Protein backbone atom coordinates (compact mmCIF):
# COMPACT_ATOMS: atom_id res chain seq x y z
CA UNK A 1 0.00 0.00 0.00
CA UNK A 2 1.40 3.41 -1.04
CA UNK A 3 2.05 5.76 1.85
CA UNK A 4 0.40 9.16 1.95
CA UNK A 5 2.77 12.02 1.20
CA UNK A 6 2.35 15.29 3.12
CA UNK A 7 4.66 18.27 2.73
CA UNK A 8 6.86 16.17 0.43
CA UNK A 9 7.50 13.46 3.04
CA UNK A 10 6.04 10.15 4.17
CA UNK A 11 5.73 9.06 7.78
CA UNK A 12 8.28 6.30 7.21
CA UNK A 13 10.79 8.81 5.86
CA UNK A 14 10.52 10.96 8.98
CA UNK A 15 10.70 8.00 11.35
CA UNK A 16 13.88 6.84 9.58
CA UNK A 17 15.35 10.34 9.89
CA UNK A 18 14.57 10.53 13.62
CA UNK A 19 16.08 7.08 14.19
CA UNK A 20 19.22 8.12 12.32
CA UNK A 21 19.66 11.22 14.49
CA UNK A 22 19.18 9.26 17.72
CA UNK A 23 21.73 6.65 16.58
CA UNK A 24 24.21 9.42 15.80
CA UNK A 25 23.74 10.91 19.29
CA UNK A 26 24.36 7.55 20.94
CA UNK A 27 27.46 6.96 18.82
CA UNK A 28 28.85 10.31 19.91
CA UNK A 29 28.55 9.32 23.57
CA UNK A 30 25.17 10.63 24.70
CA UNK A 31 23.52 8.50 27.37
CA UNK A 32 20.11 9.48 25.98
CA UNK A 33 18.61 11.84 23.42
CA UNK A 34 15.35 13.18 22.02
CA UNK A 35 14.42 14.75 18.70
CA UNK A 36 11.54 16.95 17.47
CA UNK A 37 11.05 17.17 13.71
CA UNK A 38 8.63 19.40 11.86
CA UNK A 39 8.12 19.87 8.13
CA UNK A 40 5.50 21.90 6.32
CA UNK A 41 4.71 22.92 2.77
CA UNK A 42 2.12 25.24 1.28
CA UNK A 43 1.36 28.60 -0.26
CA UNK A 44 -0.45 31.85 0.43
CA UNK A 45 -1.91 34.49 -1.88
CA UNK A 46 -3.12 38.01 -1.18
CA UNK A 47 -5.29 40.19 -3.40
CA UNK A 48 -5.73 43.93 -2.92
CA UNK A 49 -7.63 46.44 -5.03
CA UNK A 50 -8.48 43.76 -7.56
CA UNK A 51 -4.86 42.80 -8.20
CA UNK A 52 -2.57 40.09 -6.90
CA UNK A 53 -0.46 41.63 -4.17
CA UNK A 54 1.60 38.57 -3.33
CA UNK A 55 2.02 34.85 -3.97
CA UNK A 56 4.28 33.03 -1.54
CA UNK A 57 5.36 29.41 -1.55
CA UNK A 58 6.89 27.95 1.58
CA UNK A 59 8.55 24.71 2.54
CA UNK A 60 10.08 24.68 5.99
CA UNK A 61 11.99 22.00 7.87
CA UNK A 62 13.21 22.03 11.45
CA UNK A 63 15.05 19.55 13.66
CA UNK A 64 15.41 20.24 17.37
CA UNK A 65 17.77 17.89 19.18
CA UNK A 66 18.58 17.48 22.88
CA UNK A 67 21.26 15.11 24.12
CA UNK A 68 21.90 14.04 27.71
CA UNK A 69 25.12 13.03 29.42
CA UNK A 70 23.61 11.86 32.66
CA UNK A 71 21.89 14.94 34.08
CA UNK A 72 23.74 17.36 31.81
CA UNK A 73 22.08 18.37 28.57
CA UNK A 74 22.82 20.25 25.37
CA UNK A 75 20.60 21.27 22.48
CA UNK A 76 20.93 22.21 18.83
CA UNK A 77 18.55 22.98 15.99
CA UNK A 78 18.95 22.86 12.22
CA UNK A 79 16.94 22.93 9.01
CA UNK A 80 19.39 20.91 6.91
CA UNK A 81 18.47 17.20 6.67
CA UNK A 82 21.76 16.11 5.10
CA UNK A 83 23.81 13.53 7.01
CA UNK A 84 26.86 15.78 7.41
CA UNK A 85 24.73 18.62 8.83
CA UNK A 86 23.05 16.26 11.28
CA UNK A 87 26.42 14.91 12.41
CA UNK A 88 27.73 18.44 13.09
CA UNK A 89 24.57 19.43 14.98
CA UNK A 90 24.79 16.33 17.20
CA UNK A 91 28.44 17.08 17.79
CA UNK A 92 27.62 20.66 18.85
CA UNK A 93 24.85 19.48 21.22
CA UNK A 94 27.16 16.91 22.79
CA UNK A 95 29.89 19.52 23.26
CA UNK A 96 27.43 21.78 25.10
CA UNK A 97 26.20 18.92 27.28
CA UNK A 98 29.69 17.91 28.39
CA UNK A 99 30.26 21.35 29.91
CA UNK A 100 26.74 22.12 31.16
CA UNK A 101 25.76 22.09 34.81
CA UNK A 102 23.82 19.10 36.07
CA UNK A 103 20.06 19.49 36.44
CA UNK A 104 18.44 16.80 38.55
CA UNK A 105 15.07 17.35 36.85
CA UNK A 106 16.28 16.95 33.27
CA UNK A 107 15.93 13.82 31.15
CA UNK A 108 13.45 11.86 29.10
CA UNK A 109 9.94 11.00 30.21
CA UNK A 110 9.55 7.67 31.98
CA UNK A 111 9.07 4.92 29.43
CA UNK A 112 5.62 3.90 30.68
CA UNK A 113 4.32 7.43 29.91
CA UNK A 114 5.32 7.39 26.25
CA UNK A 115 2.68 7.10 23.53
CA UNK A 116 3.76 3.77 22.05
CA UNK A 117 0.18 3.06 20.97
CA UNK A 118 -0.92 6.54 19.93
CA UNK A 119 -4.16 6.92 17.96
CA UNK A 120 -4.30 7.96 14.30
CA UNK A 121 -6.22 11.21 14.58
CA UNK A 122 -8.25 12.79 11.77
CA UNK A 123 -6.21 15.95 11.32
CA UNK A 124 -4.96 15.93 7.71
CA UNK A 125 -7.23 17.11 4.89
CA UNK A 126 -5.25 18.55 1.94
CA UNK A 127 -6.98 21.26 -0.08
CA UNK A 128 -6.95 20.63 -3.82
CA UNK A 129 -6.85 24.36 -4.47
CA UNK A 130 -4.43 25.69 -7.09
CA UNK A 131 -2.72 29.05 -6.79
CA UNK A 132 -4.78 30.30 -9.74
CA UNK A 133 -8.01 29.24 -8.05
CA UNK A 134 -6.92 30.86 -4.78
CA UNK A 135 -6.23 34.13 -6.60
CA UNK A 136 -9.68 34.15 -8.19
CA UNK A 137 -11.26 33.28 -4.85
CA UNK A 138 -9.54 36.15 -3.03
CA UNK A 139 -10.43 38.62 -5.77
CA UNK A 140 -14.08 37.54 -5.71
CA UNK A 141 -14.21 37.80 -1.92
CA UNK A 142 -12.77 41.31 -2.00
CA UNK A 143 -15.21 42.40 -4.74
CA UNK A 144 -18.17 41.06 -2.75
CA UNK A 145 -17.00 42.91 0.35
CA UNK A 146 -16.51 46.23 -1.45
CA UNK A 147 -19.97 45.97 -3.00
CA UNK A 148 -21.66 45.50 0.37
CA UNK A 149 -21.88 49.19 1.35
CA UNK A 150 -20.66 52.37 -0.32
CA UNK A 151 -18.88 53.30 2.90
CA UNK A 152 -16.65 50.23 2.50
CA UNK A 153 -14.32 51.79 -0.05
CA UNK A 154 -10.91 50.28 0.61
CA UNK A 155 -9.46 46.83 1.07
CA UNK A 156 -6.42 46.10 3.19
CA UNK A 157 -6.05 42.68 1.58
CA UNK A 158 -7.90 39.41 1.17
CA UNK A 159 -5.77 36.31 1.72
CA UNK A 160 -5.86 32.54 1.44
CA UNK A 161 -3.23 30.18 2.80
CA UNK A 162 -2.98 26.41 2.86
CA UNK A 163 -0.43 24.17 4.55
CA UNK A 164 0.36 20.47 4.92
CA UNK A 165 2.69 19.38 7.72
CA UNK A 166 4.18 16.53 9.71
CA UNK A 167 4.99 16.65 13.42
CA UNK A 168 7.39 14.04 14.74
CA UNK A 169 9.12 13.11 17.98
CA UNK A 170 11.46 10.31 19.03
CA UNK A 171 13.80 9.40 21.86
CA UNK A 172 16.33 6.74 22.81
CA UNK A 173 13.77 4.85 24.89
CA UNK A 174 12.46 3.34 21.67
CA UNK A 175 9.59 5.71 20.98
CA UNK A 176 9.19 7.36 17.57
CA UNK A 177 5.90 8.93 16.54
CA UNK A 178 4.77 11.10 13.64
CA UNK A 179 1.41 12.52 12.62
CA UNK A 180 0.22 14.69 9.70
CA UNK A 181 -1.83 17.86 10.00
CA UNK A 182 -3.24 20.44 7.62
CA UNK A 183 -4.31 24.05 8.16
CA UNK A 184 -6.24 26.28 5.79
CA UNK A 185 -7.19 29.94 6.27
CA UNK A 186 -9.00 32.78 4.53
CA UNK A 187 -9.24 36.39 5.70
CA UNK A 188 -10.61 39.72 4.50
CA UNK A 189 -9.54 43.11 5.90
CA UNK A 190 -11.55 46.22 5.00
CA UNK A 191 -11.63 49.96 5.63
CA UNK A 192 -14.88 51.88 5.93
CA UNK A 193 -15.04 55.67 5.68
CA UNK A 194 -17.59 58.35 6.47
CA UNK A 195 -16.59 61.98 6.25
CA UNK A 196 -13.15 62.33 7.85
CA UNK A 197 -13.46 59.08 9.81
CA UNK A 198 -11.95 55.75 8.81
CA UNK A 199 -12.39 52.40 10.55
CA UNK A 200 -10.71 49.06 9.89
CA UNK A 201 -12.03 45.59 10.64
CA UNK A 202 -11.81 42.05 9.35
CA UNK A 203 -13.18 38.53 9.31
CA UNK A 204 -11.44 35.21 8.89
CA UNK A 205 -11.94 31.45 8.86
CA UNK A 206 -9.52 28.64 9.70
CA UNK A 207 -9.83 24.84 9.76
CA UNK A 208 -7.84 21.69 9.10
CA UNK A 209 -10.56 20.50 6.69
CA UNK A 210 -11.34 22.93 3.84
CA UNK A 211 -14.96 21.73 3.92
CA UNK A 212 -15.30 23.37 7.34
CA UNK A 213 -14.18 26.82 6.16
CA UNK A 214 -16.76 29.59 6.18
CA UNK A 215 -17.70 30.60 2.62
CA UNK A 216 -15.90 33.48 0.93
CA UNK A 217 -19.19 35.40 0.56
CA UNK A 218 -19.90 35.08 4.28
CA UNK A 219 -16.39 36.23 5.18
CA UNK A 220 -16.78 39.22 2.86
CA UNK A 221 -20.15 40.17 4.31
CA UNK A 222 -19.04 39.81 7.92
CA UNK A 223 -15.88 41.87 7.35
CA UNK A 224 -17.91 44.64 5.69
CA UNK A 225 -20.54 44.63 8.43
CA UNK A 226 -17.92 44.85 11.13
CA UNK A 227 -16.07 47.73 9.47
CA UNK A 228 -19.29 49.75 8.94
CA UNK A 229 -20.53 49.13 12.48
CA UNK A 230 -17.39 50.77 13.88
CA UNK A 231 -18.10 54.13 12.25
CA UNK A 232 -19.04 57.08 14.46
CA UNK A 233 -17.43 55.51 17.51
CA UNK A 234 -17.33 57.40 20.81
CA UNK A 235 -15.34 57.17 24.00
CA UNK A 236 -16.89 56.57 27.42
CA UNK A 237 -16.63 58.31 30.79
CA UNK A 238 -14.85 56.27 33.45
CA UNK A 239 -17.20 53.91 35.27
CA UNK A 240 -17.64 50.37 36.58
CA UNK A 241 -19.98 48.32 34.38
CA UNK A 242 -20.72 44.72 33.35
CA UNK A 243 -18.61 43.59 30.39
CA UNK A 244 -19.13 40.94 27.71
CA UNK A 245 -16.07 39.64 25.88
CA UNK A 246 -17.14 38.56 22.38
CA UNK A 247 -16.20 34.91 21.76
CA UNK A 248 -13.05 35.59 19.73
CA UNK A 249 -11.71 37.84 22.53
CA UNK A 250 -13.00 35.58 25.30
CA UNK A 251 -10.44 33.00 24.17
CA UNK A 252 -7.76 35.30 25.52
CA UNK A 253 -9.27 35.29 29.02
CA UNK A 254 -9.02 31.50 29.10
CA UNK A 255 -5.57 31.66 27.54
CA UNK A 256 -4.38 33.66 30.55
CA UNK A 257 -5.84 30.97 32.81
CA UNK A 258 -3.91 28.26 30.94
CA UNK A 259 -0.70 30.27 31.23
CA UNK A 260 -1.25 30.75 34.96
CA UNK A 261 -1.60 26.99 35.59
CA UNK A 262 1.31 26.05 33.32
CA UNK A 263 4.52 24.59 34.64
CA UNK A 264 7.12 27.23 33.86
CA UNK A 265 5.28 30.03 35.67
CA UNK A 266 4.48 27.74 38.59
CA UNK A 267 7.98 26.46 39.32
CA UNK A 268 9.34 29.98 38.89
CA UNK A 269 6.68 31.16 41.35
CA UNK A 270 5.47 33.83 38.93
CA UNK A 271 1.80 32.84 38.69
CA UNK A 272 -1.12 34.30 40.62
CA UNK A 273 -2.56 30.75 40.72
CA UNK A 274 0.43 29.24 42.51
CA UNK A 275 -0.57 26.81 45.28
CA UNK A 276 -4.24 27.00 44.30
CA UNK A 277 -4.97 23.29 43.67
CA UNK A 278 -8.26 22.44 45.35
CA UNK A 279 -9.24 26.09 45.58
CA UNK A 280 -12.28 27.77 44.02
CA UNK A 281 -11.18 29.84 41.00
CA UNK A 282 -14.40 30.11 38.98
CA UNK A 283 -18.08 30.04 39.99
CA UNK A 284 -19.51 26.58 40.71
CA UNK A 285 -21.33 26.43 37.34
CA UNK A 286 -18.02 26.49 35.43
CA UNK A 287 -15.93 23.47 34.44
CA UNK A 288 -12.95 23.51 32.06
CA UNK A 289 -11.54 20.42 30.37
CA UNK A 290 -9.19 19.37 27.58
CA UNK A 291 -9.99 16.99 24.70
CA UNK A 292 -6.77 16.28 22.79
CA UNK A 293 -8.09 13.58 20.43
CA UNK A 294 -10.93 15.58 18.89
CA UNK A 295 -11.33 14.80 15.19
CA UNK A 296 -10.43 17.86 13.06
CA UNK A 297 -9.55 19.81 16.21
CA UNK A 298 -7.02 22.60 15.63
CA UNK A 299 -5.33 21.72 18.93
CA UNK A 300 -5.49 17.93 18.65
CA UNK A 301 -2.34 15.82 19.06
CA UNK A 302 -1.72 12.15 19.97
CA UNK A 303 1.38 12.98 22.06
CA UNK A 304 3.09 16.07 23.42
CA UNK A 305 6.61 17.44 22.95
CA UNK A 306 7.93 14.93 25.51
CA UNK A 307 6.43 12.01 23.59
CA UNK A 308 3.95 11.54 26.43
CA UNK A 309 0.51 10.26 25.44
CA UNK A 310 -2.04 13.06 25.51
CA UNK A 311 -5.23 12.44 27.46
CA UNK A 312 -8.41 14.21 28.50
CA UNK A 313 -7.70 16.49 31.44
CA UNK A 314 -10.15 18.16 33.81
CA UNK A 315 -8.63 21.45 34.99
CA UNK A 316 -11.68 23.03 36.62
CA UNK A 317 -14.57 21.06 38.10
CA UNK A 318 -17.52 23.06 39.40
CA UNK A 319 -15.26 26.07 39.82
CA UNK A 320 -12.44 24.27 41.67
CA UNK A 321 -8.90 23.88 40.28
CA UNK A 322 -8.27 20.15 39.87
CA UNK A 323 -4.98 20.03 37.98
CA UNK A 324 -2.12 22.10 36.62
CA UNK A 325 -1.03 21.96 32.95
CA UNK A 326 2.37 20.26 32.96
CA UNK A 327 5.11 18.70 30.89
CA UNK A 328 7.69 16.29 32.28
CA UNK A 329 10.32 18.82 33.39
CA UNK A 330 7.87 21.15 35.15
CA UNK A 331 6.14 18.21 36.82
CA UNK A 332 9.42 16.98 38.26
CA UNK A 333 10.29 20.46 39.54
CA UNK A 334 6.90 20.66 41.26
CA UNK A 335 6.90 17.10 42.59
CA UNK A 336 3.83 16.26 40.48
CA UNK A 337 3.00 14.14 37.43
CA UNK A 338 3.00 15.29 33.82
CA UNK A 339 -0.42 15.92 32.30
CA UNK A 340 0.81 15.51 28.70
CA UNK A 341 0.97 19.25 28.11
CA UNK A 342 4.63 19.92 27.34
CA UNK A 343 3.52 21.87 24.26
CA UNK A 344 0.52 23.56 25.87
CA UNK A 345 -3.15 22.72 26.04
CA UNK A 346 -5.03 20.72 23.37
CA UNK A 347 -8.64 21.74 22.60
CA UNK A 348 -9.78 23.46 25.78
CA UNK A 349 -13.53 23.53 26.48
CA UNK A 350 -15.47 25.55 29.05
CA UNK A 351 -19.02 25.03 30.25
CA UNK A 352 -21.33 26.69 27.74
CA UNK A 353 -24.68 28.28 28.51
CA UNK A 354 -27.81 28.22 26.38
CA UNK A 355 -28.02 31.88 25.35
CA UNK A 356 -27.17 33.47 22.03
CA UNK A 357 -25.10 36.64 22.14
CA UNK A 358 -28.26 38.73 21.65
CA UNK A 359 -29.78 37.06 24.72
CA UNK A 360 -26.59 37.55 26.69
CA UNK A 361 -26.79 41.28 25.91
CA UNK A 362 -30.29 41.35 27.38
CA UNK A 363 -29.05 39.57 30.49
CA UNK A 364 -26.36 42.24 30.87
CA UNK A 365 -28.82 45.09 30.29
CA UNK A 366 -26.41 48.02 30.35
CA UNK A 367 -22.69 47.64 29.86
CA UNK A 368 -19.85 47.13 27.38
CA UNK A 369 -19.47 44.55 24.61
CA UNK A 370 -15.75 44.15 23.85
CA UNK A 371 -14.95 43.08 20.29
CA UNK A 372 -11.27 44.02 20.10
CA UNK A 373 -8.43 44.19 22.60
CA UNK A 374 -5.09 45.95 22.26
CA UNK A 375 -1.84 45.94 24.18
CA UNK A 376 -0.25 43.41 26.50
CA UNK A 377 -1.28 44.75 29.90
CA UNK A 378 -1.64 41.43 31.71
CA UNK A 379 0.51 40.68 34.77
CA UNK A 380 0.34 36.95 35.48
CA UNK A 381 2.31 37.36 38.72
CA UNK A 382 -0.43 39.47 40.32
CA UNK A 383 -3.34 38.81 37.96
CA UNK A 384 -3.69 42.53 37.21
CA UNK A 385 -5.40 43.12 33.87
CA UNK A 386 -5.49 46.40 31.90
CA UNK A 387 -5.88 46.56 28.13
CA UNK A 388 -7.02 48.96 25.45
CA UNK A 389 -10.37 47.99 23.96
CA UNK A 390 -13.06 48.84 21.47
CA UNK A 391 -16.55 47.50 20.99
CA UNK A 392 -20.12 48.66 21.61
CA UNK A 393 -22.06 50.38 24.36
CA UNK A 394 -25.21 48.44 25.32
CA UNK A 395 -28.35 49.82 26.97
CA UNK A 396 -31.58 47.97 27.61
CA UNK A 397 -29.99 44.85 26.18
CA UNK A 398 -29.48 46.50 22.78
CA UNK A 399 -26.34 47.80 21.07
CA UNK A 400 -26.55 51.62 21.02
CA UNK A 401 -23.28 52.83 19.48
CA UNK A 402 -19.64 51.80 18.85
CA UNK A 403 -16.95 52.81 21.33
CA UNK A 404 -13.18 53.18 21.03
CA UNK A 405 -10.15 54.61 22.83
CA UNK A 406 -11.11 53.04 26.15
CA UNK A 407 -9.27 50.89 28.67
CA UNK A 408 -10.76 48.02 30.62
CA UNK A 409 -9.16 46.97 33.90
CA UNK A 410 -9.57 44.45 36.69
CA UNK A 411 -7.82 41.48 38.26
CA UNK A 412 -8.04 38.05 36.66
CA UNK A 413 -8.74 36.42 40.01
CA UNK A 414 -11.83 38.64 40.46
CA UNK A 415 -12.79 38.38 36.79
CA UNK A 416 -12.83 34.58 36.88
CA UNK A 417 -14.68 34.52 40.18
CA UNK A 418 -17.32 36.94 38.88
CA UNK A 419 -17.96 35.18 35.58
CA UNK A 420 -21.74 35.34 35.19
CA UNK A 421 -22.49 33.36 32.04
CA UNK A 422 -21.07 32.00 28.79
CA UNK A 423 -22.94 32.23 25.49
CA UNK A 424 -23.53 29.40 23.04
CA UNK A 425 -21.77 31.29 20.19
CA UNK A 426 -18.67 29.08 20.42
CA UNK A 427 -15.68 30.21 18.34
CA UNK A 428 -14.10 27.14 16.70
CA UNK A 429 -11.12 28.95 15.18
CA UNK A 430 -8.51 27.91 17.72
CA UNK A 431 -7.52 25.39 20.37
CA UNK A 432 -9.59 27.19 23.04
CA UNK A 433 -13.33 26.86 22.45
CA UNK A 434 -15.61 29.28 24.21
CA UNK A 435 -18.63 31.45 23.60
CA UNK A 436 -18.94 35.10 24.64
CA UNK A 437 -18.23 35.64 28.34
CA UNK A 438 -20.26 37.96 30.58
CA UNK A 439 -18.41 39.35 33.60
CA UNK A 440 -20.20 40.95 36.51
CA UNK A 441 -18.15 44.14 36.51
CA UNK A 442 -14.93 45.81 35.31
CA UNK A 443 -13.50 49.30 35.39
CA UNK A 444 -13.89 51.03 32.03
CA UNK A 445 -11.85 54.20 31.51
CA UNK A 446 -12.30 56.55 28.59
CA UNK A 447 -11.90 60.24 27.83
313-353 pLDDT, tens per residue?
999 999 999 999 999 999 999 999 999 999 999 999 999 99
Burial of 35 (0-12, 13-18, 19+ CB in 10 A): buried
Q: Which are the contacts of 268, defined by CB distance < 8 A and separation ≥ 6?
A: none
Residue 212: what pLDDT? Answer: 97
Q: What is the pLDDT of residue 64?
A: 97
Whole-number pLDDT of residue 7 = 67
pLDDT tens-digit series, residues 361-370:
999 999 999 9
Query: pLDDT at position 375, please?
Result: 86
Asked if 45 and 160 touch (Cβ cutoff 8 Å), the reply is yes
CB–CB of 66/34 below 8 Å? yes
154: three-class secondary structure by DSSP = strand
Domains present along the chain, CATH in parentheses: 11-228 (3.30.2290.10), 233-447 (no CATH)
* Predicted pLDDT of residue 8: 76
Q: How far is the CA of 336 from the CAs of 61, 166, 181, 289, 430, in angstroms?
A: 34, 31, 31, 19, 28
- Whether residue 360 contacts residue 421, with contact meaning beta carbons closer than 8 Å, is answered with yes
pLDDT of the residue at 195: 87
Q: Does 8 or 197 have the greater pLDDT score?
A: 197
Sign of CA dihedral 396, 433, 248, 122: negative
pLDDT in tens, 12-61: 999 999 999 999 999 999 999 999 999 999 999 999 999 999 999 999 99
> In the structure, what pLDDT confidence band is assigned to residue 446 with cuts at 50, 70 and 90?
confident
User: What integer pLDDT is reported at residue 76 of this predicted model?
Assistant: 97
Q: Across the chain, what does the average pLDDT equal?
A: 95
Q: Please answer whether residues 163 and 8 qualify as being in contact, where contact means their C-beta atoms are separated by less than 8 angstroms.
A: no
Are 139 and 159 in contact by the 8 Å Cβ rule? The answer is no
Dist. CA 439–CA 153, nearest whole Å: 36
Q: Is the pLDDT of residue 301 over 60?
A: yes
* DSSP codes joined into one string, 279-295: SB-S-TT--EEE-TT-T
- Kindly report the backbone phi and psi dihedral angles of residue 193, in degrees, each rounded to the nearest multiple of 5, phi listed first: -130, 145
Q: Band the pLDDT of 376: cuts 50, 70, 90.
A: confident
Q: State yes or no: pLDDT of 2 exceeds 70.
A: no
Determine the Cα–Cα distance for residues 362 and 397; give it in Å rounded to an integer. 4
Asked whether the beta carbons of 39 and 61 are under 8 A apart, the reply is yes
Cα 158 off chain centre by:
22
Q: Helix, strand, coil shares of the chain as percentages rounded to 5?
A: 25, 40, 35
Q: pLDDT band at residue 1, thresholds of 50, 70 and 90? A: very low
Residue 297 neighbours by CB distance under 10 Å = 19
Residue 177: pLDDT band (50, 70, 90) is very high
Helix (H) or strand (E) holding 55: strand 51-69
> Taking 70 as the threshold, does the pLDDT of residue 303 lie above it?
yes
Complete DSSP assignment for 89-110 = HHHHHHHHHHHSPP-TT-SPPP
pLDDT tens digits, one per residue of 190-230: 999 998 899 999 999 999 999 999 999 999 999 999 999 99
110-169: per-residue pLDDT in tens?
999 999 999 999 999 999 999 999 999 999 999 999 999 999 999 999 999 999 999 999
Closest alpha carbon to 152 in 87, 208, 200, 219: 200
Amino acid sequence: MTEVIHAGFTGTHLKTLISKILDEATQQGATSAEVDVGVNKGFSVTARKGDVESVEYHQDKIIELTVYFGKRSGSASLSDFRSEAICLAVQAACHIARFADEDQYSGLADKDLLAFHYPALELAYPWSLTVEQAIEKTKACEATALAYDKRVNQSDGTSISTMEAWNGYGNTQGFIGVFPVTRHEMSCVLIASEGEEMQRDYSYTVACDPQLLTSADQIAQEAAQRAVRRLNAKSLPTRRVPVIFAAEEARGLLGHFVQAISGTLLYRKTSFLLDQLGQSIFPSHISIDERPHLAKGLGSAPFDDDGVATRPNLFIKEGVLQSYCLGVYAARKLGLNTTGNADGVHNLFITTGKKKLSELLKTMGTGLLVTELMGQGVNLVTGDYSRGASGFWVEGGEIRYPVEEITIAGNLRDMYKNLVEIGQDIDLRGNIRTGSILLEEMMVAGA
